[in-house]
Structure 1
Amino acid sequence: MVHGPPASRRRASAAHRPYAWPGLDRAFYLQVAALAATAEGRALAASLDRRDAAARPSRPMGLPLRLRPGLRCELDAFVAAYHRMIETIVAAYPHDARLRQVLTIPEPLRAELASARDEKVHLLRLDLMPQPDGGLRVLETNANCPGGLSRSGLSQAAWRPLLTEHGIGLPAPLPSESELWTGRWLVDLAEGHTGRRPHTVAVLCPRGANHNDVHAYGVSLARLGIRALHGDPRELRAGEAGGVVLRGKPVHHAFAKIGMQDLLRMSGELQPYLRAVREESLFVQNGLRGRVIGDNKLCLAVLSDPQFADLFAPEDCRRVRPSVPWSRNIAGCDATTVRQIIGDRNRYVLKRPLDTRGHGVIVGKEIADDAAWGEAVGRAIEEGWLVQEYCSAPQIRTDPDLPPARHDLELGVVSGRLAFAFVRVGHEERLNTARSGRVHPLYL
């Protein structure tokens, strides 16, 4: 029997009263805002906007934010435990019928996974919603090709000298602040995984798709002395011994920026790419199983459900599960729970398992009437979507001329370690930068 969230959690999430998250240092932001209004601050912000415009971001970067002291160690331990649990799901998927029942994988990707051998998730980003009590709720795991790591780190590094010069204290930098880190982490990872340092890296992104971070990878790799071959993954052709070539050049390593819906649509045109990744003759971050399973929003249904506790280390469960909102595959919910979901749309969100950038997300409180919500629930049941307890967002004022805005917390993890962080601020329920969300660099 699959039931809805406990009554205590339902009451807490139903209040939806405006609140400020105590984890953000408000005094720090006021200091930064005052500095940003000076000639030096305006010049720095303008230079960052010009740099970002060349890389085609969705909108200018916001001013830096800082977490209150003492949270860094807690977040380090949390993301390490969370990463272990996601990798456990990826590794157990082929052998655990319960996981295959919960994790909706559409064809043809299901067939691709049947023979994929990878079990690692090298890179992921956690989308977190801060809570009034100072805690966090995990809304999604981005383990396909998460964005934001390059831009946020470069902005933190750019602001650091000016802030320090004016006596504004800062914590030790995250790895993403290091010069050329965007390319270096990928190259080091590829060398450790394959035993050889890349001379050429294919930077793959479909034409017309989301190119966030793609430019930064090409620039960083080139400055490291590595040839970056930009191309559409459909351009890859089969090479010798199961390898692939891009425009006549053999490639053994790649950075792949391919959204899941693009991967589904183009799978018939991507057979050389898929075969090489599946057989591990082409190294890409997160492989194939790591992407399709690790990025699947239904991983939250696994982490939320006590029946899967036997998969994980008890200490990891104790650390992570309190931060996972009630989440289930709605196709597996019993009739009583489905009626509860239909009858109280303000308490629930529906999410297509493999989608991104705010697409495939239906927030119940945004639906105008019961009939439309009922239709959405019916579709979600038919297609096996995630249903999740609604989590309200904290508010922050970043523009004196506008009302307070909503914000989240984004934590990036490379090989199980916290590597980059930022905050998205906006006025919509969905804070994606593809919509109205604006990124603020974050010091931890």
Structure 2
Amino acid sequence: MIVQNEMYSIDQRKMKQGIEKKQIYFDGKTPIPVSLTPFLIDKCKYDHLVSKSELVLEAMETFLRIYIEYEDIQKHFPELSVFRELSKVKPEYKYWIHLARFDVTETIDGSFKLMETNCDCPGAILWVSYIKQIYEDLDIFKEISSKYEINAQATDDPRLFIKSLIDVYKEVTGKNQDPNIGFLSSEYHPVLTDLDLLEKLAASMGLSAKHIPIQKLQSVENLPGWDNKPLQMAFHKFDAFIDENDQFKYCLYEESVSEVEEYWNGLKNNQFIYVNSFPSAMVAENKRILYLLKDKHIQSFFSEKQKEAIDMLIPETFSLTSQKLDQVKEVINNKDQYVLKRVIDTRGRGVILGKFCPADLWSKHVNQAIDKPFIIQKYIDQSKKIINNPNVDPTQISVYQSLALYLIKGKASGLLCRSSIDPITNVGKRGAVQPAYIISEREI
């Protein structure tokens, strides 16, 4: 659906004003661009995607339990050696992957492929409901809602995620009162998307909550906290990357744990509950899991339905090794068919698309990735779509799209569409957001 002329101009202005009023910012400072062109997905198609995604997530939960038990599985993740013990800390709650955001691409034939799992600290969950709240006050939405039946998403209630944190706290402690909630970031490589919004939303719910860098936590009766309030429930939002030694760097601190002493002591002594778990943040987040889920030995732990969902949803993915140089040659000679990705990175960093890379440079990148923390993934071709440009009034642009499917406590909960003129569809890379709706045809 393309909006034009005067209605477009008025609605686009209202959208921008709404984004700024609600302070929906990328990384806490840049208002996100939102196109007036919605992403509409048929309910049957969405339900199929959800059923397969939830089965893959179940298998990932099983994989994490295998990982902490078996050293031969841990060896598949050499970049985690520095943080190995932390990556094996078993949480006390049922869903080790409390919050995930599956980044999914729709192929030319209409099927879906899972490109990344995002099980560390996926961002923008509040954008789903907040953007729709603004959008549904616009004239364009009246046209959509008159034509289609709009199906509810759990994330239509912005309180959903915070309520899930409270549920985990009560599940683990057996206590009935609401906890003090810390939305924790780090001063080292800070990532801030959602955190201020979550703090404001929690306050509106009558909760004691704060967005605070872990370097600023104080001692409150020998517990980490702030303003005389001990931290009881935490949502971790820490960046991560692969350093120059090919090791996983989790951005809790820059040099040593002494920089985050109150947090670290509280962590070691189990003085607060936190999500996501470290196995989720370090192992389920790691892109190696995409090919390990297809490993025949590992699949012996999965149900037939889980294996079917994995085979259907996850594209061909593998690592490059010096033991398989024929495979390396295949990737170099057929660059348009492959994508090179660093196993841990965020915001579209560390991703090289062979189709858009000069042959000599592609060959160099691939050779440098042999026996290194990278994966190769089959390139998924997709049709570009025409949407209203959120930045220039009133023009249209041709974009690539990807879907962000949020899953909370094992269940699909909401959908967001990201679009970009860049084939890497990240808001930080010339990207925008489209409100996503699950639709059914109205009965006549």
Asked if Structure 1 and Structure 2 have the same fold, meaning a TM-score greater than 0.5 normalized by the shorter chain, the answer is yes
Q: TM-score w.r.t. structure 1 length?
A: 0.84
Change (3 A) 1:396 1:168: same
- Name whichever of 52-61 and 356-365 sits farther off: 52-61
Structure 1: tracts of 5 or more residues without a match: 1-28
State the shift of 1:238 in Å.
6.6
Equivalent residue of 2:352, what SS? strand
Q: What letter corresponds to residue 45 of structure 1 in structure 2?
A: M
What's the counterpart of residue 429 of structure 2?
Answer: 435
The answer on whether the counterparts of 1:277 and 1:287 sit within 8 Å (CA) in structure 2 is no
Q: What letter corresponds to residue 180 of structure 2 in structure 1?
A: T
Alpha-carbon distance between aligned partners in 2 of 1:349 and 1:279, rounded to the nearest angstrom:
42
What's the counterpart of residue 137 of structure 1?
Answer: 113
State the shift of 1:103 in Å.
3.1
The one of 332, 354, 363 equivalent to 1:374 is 363
User: Alpha-carbon deviations, 1:307-350, whole Å to 9, x = none?
Assistant: 43212111111123122111113237622212212332222212
Change (3 A) 1:104 1:300: farther
Which structure's residues are more often helix, by fraction? 1
What's the counterpart of residue 103 of structure 1?
Answer: 77
The answer on whether the counterparts of 2:102 and 2:118 sit within 8 Å (CA) in structure 1 is yes
Alpha-carbon distance between aligned partners in 2 of 1:284 and 1:96, rounded to the nearest angstrom:
24
Alpha-carbon distance between aligned partners in 2 of 1:38 and 1:112, rounded to the nearest angstrom:
51
Equivalent residue of 2:298, what SS? helix
The one of 320, 324, 349 equivalent to 1:330 is 320
Is 2:406 the partner of 1:412? yes
What's the counterpart of residue 40 of structure 2?
Answer: 66
What's the counterpart of residue 245 of structure 2?
Answer: none
State the shift of 1:76 in Å.
2.6
What's the counterpart of residue 20 of structure 2?
Answer: 50
Is 2:344 the partner of 1:354? yes
User: Alpha-carbon deviations, 1:162-220, whole Å to 9, x = none?
Assistant: 53587243422211111433432332333233333434111211236221111211011
What's the counterpart of residue 235 of structure 1?
Answer: 216
Change (3 A) 1:249 1:179: closer
The answer on whether the counterparts of 1:198 and 1:253 sit within 8 Å (CA) in structure 2 is no
What's the counterpart of residue 235 of structure 2?
Answer: 255
Is 2:183 the partner of 1:203? yes
State the shift of 1:161 in Å.
5.5
Task: Write the mapping of 1:4-403 to structure 2, written as runs, cut at 5 A.
Answer: 29-30=1-2, 33=3, 37=7, 41-42=11-12, 44-53=14-23, 55=25, 56-57=29-30, 59-63=32-36, 64-117=38-91, 120-160=96-136, 162=138, 163-164=141-142, 167-196=146-175, 197-207=177-187, 209-236=190-217, 243-246=223-226, 249-261=229-241, 263-264=250-251, 266=253, 268-269=256-257, 270=260, 272-274=262-264, 276-277=266-267, 280-331=270-321, 334-370=324-360, 372-399=361-388, 401-403=395-397
State the shift of 1:245 in Å.
3.0
Change (3 A) 1:365 1:132: closer
State the shift of 1:272 in Å.
4.8
Structure 2: tracts of 5 or more residues without a match: 242-248, 389-393, 439-444
Equivalent residue of 1:355, what SS? coil
Alpha-carbon distance between aligned partners in 1 of 2:17 and 2:31, rounded to the nearest angstrom:
16
Alpha-carbon distance between aligned partners in 2 of 1:184 and 1:291, rounded to the nearest angstrom:
21
Alpha-carbon distance between aligned partners in 1 of 2:322 and 2:159, rounded to the nearest angstrom:
46
Aligned residues: 412
User: Alpha-carbon deviations, 1:39-68, whole Å to 9, x = none?
Assistant: 863464143232254643452222232112
Which structure's residues are more often strand, by fraction? 2
Change (3 A) 1:245 1:179: closer
Change (3 A) 1:80 1:442: same
Superposition CA RMSD, Å? 2.8
Change (3 A) 1:334 1:312: same
Give identity over the alignment, percent. Answer: 20
Change (3 A) 1:376 1:46: closer
